[in-house]
Amino acid sequence: MTTPLTGTLRRRLALANELYVDLVAQLPASSLGARLRELPSDSIQNQLRCVVGARESYTKAARAGSWQGFASSLDHVPTGDADAVRAAVRDSHTAVEEFLDGLDPADDYALNQAFALLEHETQHHGQLIRYLYGLGIPRPASWQRQYALDGD
């Protein structure tokens, strides 16, 4: 059942995904292992592993009614496998859309998981923006528009 609330949630998660799709489409495989120099940081691929894992884990928890643990289909993918990263981003969003198709807006736990997922998606956007600037990786045009980033 789609309500104004679930419709808005669906649109916001779709937009978050479009930004990830744009990023992984132009991100060179050689950048997936990149970390911010002289700062404690994970690799870009691990940031994306966390995004995919949250999509998979939050929707699993919502369906089960309780947290089932964190796992990502990118957990064992070798660093630099851009095709696997792109496929996981695509497939995990498809799973989110399927979850939203059956989301009961009266199910407070499931709805909270969906909102937690949206928060998680945008937190990683912010982290990845720092990576893109810090590593001198061009920001996709969609990211520049969405977050009013400097195009240099």
Mean pLDDT by 10 residues, the chain (152 residues): 87 97 96 92 96 98 97 97 98 96 94 97 96 95 93 62
Record the tokens describing residue 120, joined without a space.
């998680």
Residue with tokens 């928060």: 119
Q: How many CB atoms lie within 10 A of CB 98?
A: 11
- Ranges of H-type helices in the chain: 4-26, 44-64, 82-101, 108-135, 141-147
Q: What is the pLDDT of residue 151?
A: 64
CA nearest 72: which of 42, 38, 3, 58?
Answer: 58
Q: What is the pLDDT of residue 3?
A: 86
Q: What is the pLDDT of residue 115?
A: 96
